Amino acid sequence: MSDLKQAINLLDLIINDKTVPKNIRKAAEDSKNVLTGENVDELKISTAITILDEIANDPNMPIYARTKIWNVVSILEQIRKKKE
């Protein structure tokens, strides 16, 4: 499984988890939409990371969801470094 596909699968888990607050699921969905567009380049990856970073410190976020978001950010940062 490619790194990008793994990141999108993790975002799907967050999006479909009804125990995660709606604003966090929305941020995950926005990130996924950016990443599933055509030609995922460094700018799109950076945009997705920014969206996730902004929401990662939300005090209402369950710990397991925060861990998944950190995992996605980590994967995206690795992909971005490979594209440089």
SS3 string of the chain?
A: CCHHHHHHHHHHHHHCCCCCCHHHHHHHHHHHHHHCCCCCCHHHHHHHHHHHHHHHCCCCCCHHHHHHHHHHHHHHHHHHHHHC
pTM of the model: 0.91
pLDDT at position 73: 96
Residues 23-32 have a mean pLDDT of 96
Residue 1 clears pLDDT 80, i.e. is over it = no
Confidence of residue 37 (pLDDT cuts 50, 70, 90): confident
Question: Could you say which of 1.10.10.10, 3.40.47.10, 1.20.1440.50, 1.20.1090.10 is the CATH number of the domain covering 3-83?
Answer: 1.20.1440.50
